[in-house]
A and B are shown apart, each in its own frame.
Chain A
Amino acid sequence: MPTTTFRRPDWRAPSVLPGFGLTFGFTLAWLTLIVLIPLATIFLRSAGMGWHEFVAVGFSHRALAAYRLSFGTAAAAGLVNALFGLLVAWVLVRYSFPGKRVVSALVDLPFALPTAVAGIALTAIYAPTGWIGQYLEPLGIKVAFTPIGITIALVFIGLPFVVRSVEPVLADLGHDVEEAAATLGANRVQTFSQVIFPAIAPALVTGFALAFARGVGEYGSVIFISGNMPGKTEIAPLLIVTQLEQYAYAGATAIATVMMLVSFVILFGLNTWQAVRRRRLGA
């Protein structure tokens, strides 16, 4: 009778399934090589440059203007998406209309379309001679090469985050709570504002935060439409590229560090908030 002895590390629960050593080892090694070490270099570089230099290049006037622009336009686009993303999710979950499946599939277009393609397409539409730009120009409205153009690009990029966050929650909500509200005498507006909206608000916040984080770091779809004027329409990721092209590694590193910390803080805060909420609601 062949026997197998089970040797295993003490720290993991035993299992009859094989392959833990192989798959866990490979996962950890690949993760460390591809993600952890490269990401660590950026903090190592920042740490190596000293506080004064870090502040000088990471918070220069030009860098501050870039942060303001990146965070501001990402927030504006996030808000637009929160509003229209909720509308799109609502329409997709609640109503039926011809072509709904196509519309639903199309919502993911920004995930699938390369950002550079989106960038030149949006520019073709909103440039002063573009499809829509030519009608806005006589009215004195400039879209391309202004923060409005950047915001439009970020609306494009961020839309699916909001729709796909809200959709499942809205679908799960079920008709019964609304019916309960109706039997208790609530009208439609009251039902929406007091029953439905509070239930989907967390998903909306999540979608906003994801869209915002993505928008802050976005590059490809923005640089064509943004005009890239230092201090005016130069987003933070572009400033990193510019610094790199001028071999200003310290500047690029410091700005990248600031951006990374901000996005980690946002996502960490989001996770913590969700965990706390779940615990409080006992879900």
Chain B
Amino acid sequence: MTALPRPPAPSRRNLLRAGLAGAGLMTLAACRSAVEHSRSAAADVDGAGSPRKGGVLSVAAAIDITPSLLFAQSANVLVQRLVFNTLTRYDDRLQPQPELATSWQVAPDGLSVTLKLREDVLFHSGRRFTADDVVFAVRNLQNPARSAQLRSTAATVTDFRKNGDFELTLVLAHPVSNLFDLFEFMIIPDAATIEEAVAGTRLIGTGPFTLTERKPGSSLSFARNERYWNPGRPYLDGVEIRVIPQAESLLSSLRTGQTHLSYNVRGKDAALLRDDPKFHVKQYDTGSGAYYIGVDVTAEHVSDKRVRQAIAWAIDRDRLVQQALGGYGSVSSVPWPKSSPAYTEVGATHYRHDPERARALLREAGAENITLPFAHATEPGPTAIAQILQYDLKQVGIETVLQPADSPTMQKQLISQTMPALWSLSHGFAQLHPATLAVSAYPFNEAKNSSHFSSPAYTDIVQRAWNRSDSDSPETKALYQQITDLLLDEEFVIDLAIAGLVEVTGSRARGVTLNKFGYLNLDDAYLTA
């Protein structure tokens, strides 16, 4: 019987290769999945009922916070109400509700307001919150270095009268109609760590979450404040804000479940997610700002208000909302969103797309076939808007020379009043009491604005609307209407559309809210299983 040939013995090299491959496979098998790991933080929820306690909510943000602007409305809105509290918060009808202030009494002459404060509030450092902290918060906003947009309202507070640790009277230089806008806006910081806060190294507040780690440009991590004054809140163990600058990557992070919530999804992307059952898309009509064309009223041609009105008639606002904002926004000739007490349908639709009327006005003003410089920000969204506006203006005989500039440059030009004849940007502060816009938003500021517009009539109406304690009376509303009429007539700021603030949440995130300034409030937020 012939013996079968023995199979050749494996060479050492082959054995080594097999060993390495086996080790590699075993390592891979034993390896945790980064995909599951990034989702798992949010899966650690307990309890059978709803809402559930536990879990870490992951928020995708397009830009990092700017610590120096902690007390201004800026990219910091994601952290302001997580770490800090405000004195009051508005409900949907702009009625103030208690937060750190439990009750308030405005004097009949409007020259003071007395606040009663919660007595059970501790800062993250363990120190008790008292009236002194409110005094510090107001004085902090009065400091020009803080860049707070409501500084002019804070500056009306001229004196503080304490009645114990938990009652405080603010004495005002004159009555103001937007006092509760200030209380909604003003976060209460810890005086001892204020410099660390504006340096971005330490945030100490009384809010539902404590900052545990900040990786500049990358992420912010928060843990539940176990001594939070609101019983049983927050439900979440923590919050992580991930900075994802690239729009496509931000969308991918939501789609893959790495993040649960974002306010930076582009309109056209949000439109894609709207019909996906895994997402909930919500639009806040309080507005995240309004797009406008600013006009330097001292520049050639546009110094004539008929030319400015012609520009307002020339713009196809519907197309702008559909194409540039993905349908998330509303056309408007006025700065006010629908929730504003100054909003009227007539005002919002005052200027419609009417090229014939625009041409007629230009003929009347002797400004046919003119050329104007037009500045805009270089980001994709503003560039798309500028191109739409350029096309519309060309149809009525206005050639524009686009001057793209990055945001800091635009901002510098805006503040230093060196904008060209036309520019497009967005403004905020129209979502609250109308006087706030005219005294706090730079484009509309009656005292000094980028348009070089000044008018005794405008100053008079704005001051009368601001210097009164009632914000809802028929007289006040008549003043709001006068402001609207003047803005529509003068058109030194040509409003185009109110941008809707788009909130995209994954199917598991619930209970997320924003205040009127867009501060993210996660007191009642939770994650479903």
Q: Is the pairing of A and B real?
A: no
Binding site for B on A (CB under 8 A): none
